[in-house]
Structure 1
Amino acid sequence: MVRIILLGCGSVGSAVALKLAALRGDLEVILADYDLTAAEGLAARIGGARACHVDVGNPESLNQLFSQGDVVLNTVGPFYRTALAVIDAAIKAEIHYVDINDDHDVAAALVEDPAYDRRAKEADIILLIGCGATPGFTNMLAKLGADRMDSARSIRLCWTVPFLVDRFSPAVMDHLFHMLTGEVTQFIDGKHQKVPAYEGVREVKFRPPFGTYPAYFSGHGEPVTLGHFIPGLEEATIRSFFYPESADDLMRFLVRSGLGDRELVPELGISPIQFFTRYASSAAGRRALVSDLQGEVLGYASQVEVCGIRNGSEIRLVFEDHQMLDGSDRSSRGAPDPTAVCARLALERILDGEVTRRGFLAPEACIDPAPYIQAVLDETGKTIYEQEEVIVKRTFAPNRQ
């Protein structure tokens, strides 16, 4: 019986645990969280699962937990704070590792330091990062597009969401500030480069009911791993935009005011980001930061544009993923969380022996994109739009009389 550790009993970890327990009877499920009460409550809902306390900031706590498992799914964010320590512990324990990491610098650390890949291969384990909705599902769309080319040249990603503070947990808000503060990793001119967040504006046109938005560089894992694992790319970049535009302006102002800084303020004993994430989740913060969304679509969209060459012609292939939040489509009427679905489906491919490679991996390096994408669509009710443009070069002979 495979022993699976689900690290983190928040919304994503809980959803994965409940579904896995319902689908598979061949697992010993271990639920681990800093909040033992949360883990015990989830174990009671599942029945037969075991609850454990863990402190991801304590190596000995991780070592003790991982000695009991065969594979771990890490859902504890923000990942830039703790993921590398958890990865180190998984390698040391020689257990397969999967996560939903969405921070660019974690992915960059694994790409830049070949020791992670080497150590994971020596331990004969899978080290698979970025298996949520974005990164994760977006990587699979990019891989699907690249596979349809003879050679892929560029992959440009963009996502847009409404600025809904009441839906942003403190961990999510921390992540949003982190990905928009300082320099972020992109893949430009065939190499990984650091560029300033909130620069590199590009007008991105989405299909209705969304619009055209001025999107800016942000820090996410997709450009890092796509540039690393898909050969021949010249560019892999990601941009983002909060709508309405006044909300994006507000977020830019908050970032440039230093509220994303992590250095402690001695007089307060906390950092600006610690203060702001707590304030934003309070009733007063939510009132002050509310956006006027009247007349705006309530949903989020991501776009993956893949450009390359096929049969001598230039190809531009665009995938768009729409998910509404207002009940206007099946994906917003009681459907499961896409991040949890994506993570579970990636994890199941390891459990079923479909991932045969070892070492440092991302979804595009080891998962067949087409069946995976279809499985996500079937469970979540996501709407995917696909558009392809072909530029054919022809030479016409002069018209001779």
Structure 2
Amino acid sequence: MTKLLMLGGAGAMGSETTKDLVKTSDFSEIVLGDNDVEKAEKFASKLDDDRLSVIEVDASDVDDLAEKMEGFDIVASALPYRFDLNVTKACVRTGVDGIDLDNEEDQWDYNKEAKEKGITYIPGCGATPGTTNLMARRGVELLEEAEEVSISFAAFRSTAIAPGLLQTTFAEFEPDIESRIYYENGKFIQVPPLTGGKSVEFHEQIGKQEVVYIPHPETKTIPATFSNLNKVEVRGCFPPKTMELVKLLNEYDFYREEPISVDDQQIKPLDFIRELLLNTPSAKKAPVWAYGLIVEVSGTYKEKPAKVTLKNNHPSMDKWGGKSAYGKNVGIPLSIGVQMLAEGKIDKKGVKPPEEAIKPTEFFEELSKRGIEIQEDFERYAS
């Protein structure tokens, strides 16, 4: 009898996690924690599973989170990344295992305390971070000596799919964000937005796209987990229209903090754009809903240069229900991770990244059962 608290389980990404949990898990109770109880109850009623119920949770309040976690065996969070640290604090305080979709850098500060409490907390178990971390680990394991990891992703969704995801998109192209870095020879090198362009061929639903440096946690966690690596970099892109938008936002300095006056009201330029997009129907539509992941791991095998390339593939929009062809790639990995955690298949204690805590082969097998394939290509070179 295992009780799960699923935070944000009725949201844009968390709803796909909940659907998969209903189909595949053996939790005795799945409680959706949300600040919008009415929305969550409507969603839960459609799934028609007696294990589902809803409670109100204020994720901005650590005390409230901790109180609501009492009595649960495990917590999963699909909340926007700005709540990740609060969820981690509450899990550590109550001594409950946890896992979430994204990552907030200060979460790692709770590693020692989580170990002392004997719990596991895994930040970033979605598509990227998440599946990409395990693709990187798999590539490292296949080589005798891994030297470089290059991650590329293409997140094909509408520009304003949800407030949290829109904020994530904007944040990744902020001009001066310190976390937009790559790792090389023991140093983290900060780079401007929209730089480091590289042409990448994703699966056929997405095709060839140019990816650029993106601030992602894999850039820091993977070198820490695999200390022999010389270079780690993450590049990504969104659909062409979204990329055009963020280029314009940077070109015309919409990221500036100084507010402007609009009808005698003071508003920051980016706040205006955000509200405009969230209230524009066309900004919620996209011709293609899909997720592309490619991880290249270079090094040596039997003393010769070698490279392992791992790519994902998944069912099309027609087979996977329109925008679910994007959301499932994010939500399903969280469902798999929380089930592995509940089943005792993850034994690392503390706050640990996916590549340190989760074995890739079993994780990929579970992805495959749900239609997400991770393909491997091993190349060896003469010298």
TM-score range, shorter chain: 0.7 to 0.9
Of 49, 54, 68, 1:51 maps to 54
Q: Residues 177 and 255 of structure 1 are in contact (CA less than 8 Å); yes or no, is this contact kept in structure 2?
A: no
Q: Residues 279 and 285 of structure 1 are in contact (CA less than 8 Å); yes or no, is this contact kept in structure 2?
A: no
Of 72, 75, 91, 2:75 maps to 72
TM-score (norm 1): 0.82
Shift of 1:275: 3.1
- What is the match of residue 232 of structure 1? 228
- What is the match of residue 100 of structure 2? 99
1:1-400 → structure 2 map (5 Å cutoff): 1-8=1-8, 9-44=10-45, 45-77=48-80, 79=81, 81-101=82-102, 106=104, 108-111=105-108, 115-162=109-156, 164-165=158-159, 168-181=161-174, 182-183=176-177, 184-206=180-202, 211-244=207-240, 248-260=243-255, 268=265, 271-283=268-280, 286=283, 299-323=290-314, 325-327=316-318, 337-379=328-370, 381-393=371-383
Q: Which moved more, 1:317-326 or 1:204-213?
A: 204-213
Task: Find the aligned partners of 1:331 and 1:39 in 2 and give their Cα distance.
Answer: 21
Q: Residues 215 and 241 of structure 1 are in contact (CA less than 8 Å); yes or no, is this contact kept in structure 2?
A: yes
CA spacing shift, 1:262–1:42, aligned 2, 3 Å: farther
Shift of 1:62: 1.2
Amino acid at match of 1:143: R
Where 2:148 maps in the other structure, the secondary structure is strand
Q: Residues 134 and 360 of structure 2 are in contact (CA less than 8 Å); yes or no, is this contact kept in structure 1?
A: yes
Q: Which has the higher contact order (CA 8 A, sep 6+)?
A: 2
Aligned-residue identity in percent: 22
Task: Find the aligned partners of 1:165 and 1:243 in 2 and give their Cα distance.
Answer: 8
What 5-or-longer segments of structure 2 have no aligned partner? none
Amino acid at match of 1:283: T
Rg larger for: 1
Q: Residues 15 and 340 of structure 1 are in contact (CA less than 8 Å); yes or no, is this contact kept in structure 2?
A: yes
Amino acid at match of 2:377: Q
Q: Which moved more, 1:263-272 or 1:32-41?
A: 263-272
- What is the match of residue 398 of structure 1? none
What 5-or-longer segments of structure 1 have no aligned partner? 394-401
Task: Find the aligned partners of 2:51 and 2:360 in 1 and give their Cα distance.
Answer: 33
Where 2:118 maps in the other structure, the secondary structure is coil
Where 1:127 maps in the other structure, the secondary structure is strand
Task: Find the aligned partners of 1:278 and 1:21 in 2 and give their Cα distance.
Answer: 34
Task: Find the aligned partners of 2:31 and 2:167 in 1 and give their Cα distance.
Answer: 27
Task: Find the aligned partners of 1:374 and 1:313 in 2 and give their Cα distance.
Answer: 30
Shift of 1:65: 0.9
CA spacing shift, 1:344–1:324, aligned 2, 3 Å: closer
CA spacing shift, 1:277–1:309, aligned 2, 3 Å: same
Shift of 1:333: 10
Task: Find the aligned partners of 1:93 and 1:185 in 2 and give their Cα distance.
Answer: 34
Q: Which moved more, 1:45-54 or 1:152-161?
A: 45-54
Amino acid at match of 2:168: H
Q: Residues 59 and 89 of structure 1 are in contact (CA less than 8 Å); yes or no, is this contact kept in structure 2?
A: yes
Q: Which moved more, 1:353-362 or 1:332-341?
A: 332-341
Q: Residues 323 and 332 of structure 1 are in contact (CA less than 8 Å); yes or no, is this contact kept in structure 2?
A: no
Shift of 1:200: 2.3
Shift of 1:299: 4.2
Q: Residues 62 and 89 of structure 2 are in contact (CA less than 8 Å); yes or no, is this contact kept in structure 1?
A: no
Shift of 1:146: 0.7
Where 2:233 maps in the other structure, the secondary structure is strand
Task: Find the aligned partners of 2:336 and 2:246 in 1 and give their Cα distance.
Answer: 33
CA spacing shift, 1:213–1:220, aligned 2, 3 Å: same
Q: Deviations over 1:132-168 (max 9, x none)?
A: 11211111111111100111111101122457336x2
